[in-house]
Amino acid sequence: MKKMRFIVFTGLFLLSMNVLAQDSNFHIYLCFGQSNMEGQGKIEEQDKIVDNRFQVMQSLDCSTPKRTKGKWYTAIPPLCQCESGLSPTDYFGRTMVKHLPDSIKVGVINVAIGGCDIRLFDKDQYHNYDRTHKERWFTSKIANYNGNPYLHLINLAKLAQKDGVIKGILLHQGETNTGDSLWPKYVNKIYNDMLVELSLNSNDVPLLAGEVFSGNNNCCSEMNEIINKLPEVITTAHIISSQGCPGMDNAHFNSEGYRTLGIRYATQMLSLMGYQNIPDKK
The C-alpha atoms of residue 165 and residue 27 are separated, in whole angstroms, by 5
Based on the residue annotation, tell me whether 249 is a catalytic residue of this protein.
yes
Measured between alpha carbons, how far is 153 from 156 in angstroms, rounded to an integer?
Answer: 5
The answer to whether residue 24 is catalytic is no
CA 245 to CA 255: how far, in whole Å? 10
Residues in the chain: 282
Choice among 16, 127, 249, 271 that is catalytic: 249
Catalytic position from the list 133, 152, 172, 252: 252
3-state secondary structure of 118: helix
Catalytic residue among 35, 59, 242, 255: 35
For residue 250, CA distances in Å to 141, 194, 254, 277 come to: 22, 31, 11, 32
Please state at what angle helix 255-272 crosses helix 88-99, rounded to 10 degrees.
40
Q: Catalytic amino acids?
A: 35, 249, 252
